[in-house]
Amino acid sequence: MPARKRTKYIKIDPQVPELHKIRLAARILQRGGVVAFPTETVYGLGANALDPHAVRRIFWAKGRPQDNPLIVHVANLKMVQALTACLPSRALELIRRFWPGPLTLVLPKSGLVPPEVTAGLDTVALRMPAHPVALALIKAARRPIAAPSANLSGKPSPTTGHHVLRDLRGKIEAVVDGGPAWVGLESTVLDLTSPVPVILRPGGITREQLQEVLGEVSLDPGTGENRGGAPPKSPGMKYIHYAPEGEVYLVEGDLFAMTSRIRELVALFKRQGRRVAVLATAETAPQYTRDPRPDYLEVLGSRQDLSQVAAHLFAALRNCDRHGMEVILAETFPEEGIGLAIMNRLRKASGNRIIRP
Ligand code: TXA
Ligand code: MG
């Protein structure tokens, strides 16, 4: 187990990253170090994907189970060609349409990819991030960068440099802080190794967007509510995820039923002496500013623009922890567009504690 170290904090301009700072971080990666960096989705914890020793240090820092493979981040098509055994035309089409961006493609791997990265699978997950800092860093390192989300395993993914520091300070060489990640939820993981492409994890690129290019796209059963069906195909989907300290409850129903039920539950949990938070939206927030009032209220954004909700969700869960919330009552969302990814993360965070009307 590596000794604790001083974690360098590198504040960087997200639009025009200072070259000397990029070079500093790239050198750490080239020497086998582990560096957290911003992407448009969430912060990643990067290491040279071709260096098994460096990759093992990612697992150690996060406390991540060894059988959960990593996404490899690339900056050009040449890297993709080197890392894959074959590149089907539909992959090229998706790359043209959605890269750089929040879409990860699972493809047959080449011999270049060490088994540490793929957890022994014969496929590799690849993505080109749309963040100027991430792209500059991969280019400067001149290596593909393996990077899971830069949180302690099981915790909500980090959307700011400070989230990363709170989880990983002392365990990694550096954090490059380029401000908040704007998508706020991780990339969509799409398996292209079966005849019909399968969404293994819903994310920043929606199912509807993929259908426009591919026609048929299926959704791995493991991404939805776990009703005791098939185990998820993406190894990472079976673990506890995104869980804050407080117990998360999802409340379903139309806006009226949902807000009334949440108000009843606030009263109930407060009578039990527990500290209660509500995750609400601009449209519903006024319902929670009169008694029974929650101890903490987070307004995630407007229901008219769910990308706002996506962008704030993980930070909101972390804020609940900081305020010592014991119970977190979350509103639910229609599972269309980015709503599918929002509900996937909320369900995981709740461990399937779902309150139906
Ligand atoms: O937006 C993102 O994807 C972020 C940023 C940093 O790029 N990364 C991220 O990585 O979310 P991570 O490790 O937290 O999630 C990767 C997911 C896991 O569910 C993992 O099981 C799945 O991708 N995965 C990786 N390689 C795979 C493979 N070969 N086959 C199937 N699933 C794979
Ligand atoms: Mg993760």
Cα–ligand 2 centroid distance for 323 (angstroms): 23
**C-alpha of residue 64 to centroid of ligand 2, in Å:** 9
**Ligand 1: which residue has its CA nearest to atom 12?**
148
Cα 42 to ligand 2 centre (Å): 9
- Residue for token pair 């493991």: 222
Of the candidates 239, 237, 236, 233, the residue with the CA atom closest to the CA atom of residue 218: 233
Taking CA atoms only, the protein residue closest to ligand 1 atom 24 is 69
Mutate which of 189, 233, 237, 241 for ligand 1? The one with the most ligand atoms within 8 Å of its CB, which is 189
Q: Do the Cβ atoms of 174 and 25 come closer than 8 Å? A: yes
Q: Which residues pair with 166 in a beta bridge?
A: none
Domains and CATH numbers, the chain: 8-223 (3.90.870.10), 247-355 (3.40.50.11030)
pLDDT in tens, the chain (357 residues): 667 889 999 999 999 999 999 999 999 999 999 999 999 999 999 999 999 999 999 999 999 999 999 999 999 999 999 999 999 999 999 999 999 999 999 999 999 999 999 999 999 999 999 999 999 999 999 999 999 999 999 999 999 999 999 999 999 999 999 999 999 999 999 999 999 999 999 999 999 999 999 999 999 988 865 444 455 566 666 667 888 999 999 999 999 999 999 999 999 999 999 999 999 999 999 999 999 999 999 999 999 999 999 999 999 999 999 999 999 999 999 999 999 999 999 999 999 999 998
pLDDT value for 299: 98
258 alpha carbon – ligand 1 mean position (Å)? 33
What whole-number distance in Å separates Cα of residue 250 and Cα of residue 254? 13
Q: In the sheet that 327-331 helps form, which strands lie side by side, from edge to edge? A: 296-299, 276-280, 327-331, 247-251, 354-355
What is the C-alpha separation between 22 and 140, in angstroms, rounded? 7
Q: Which residues line ligand 1 (CB under 6 A)?
A: 39, 41-42, 44, 68-71, 102, 104, 106, 118, 121, 123-125, 127, 129, 147-149, 186-187, 189, 200-201, 234-237
Give pLDDT, residue 232.
59
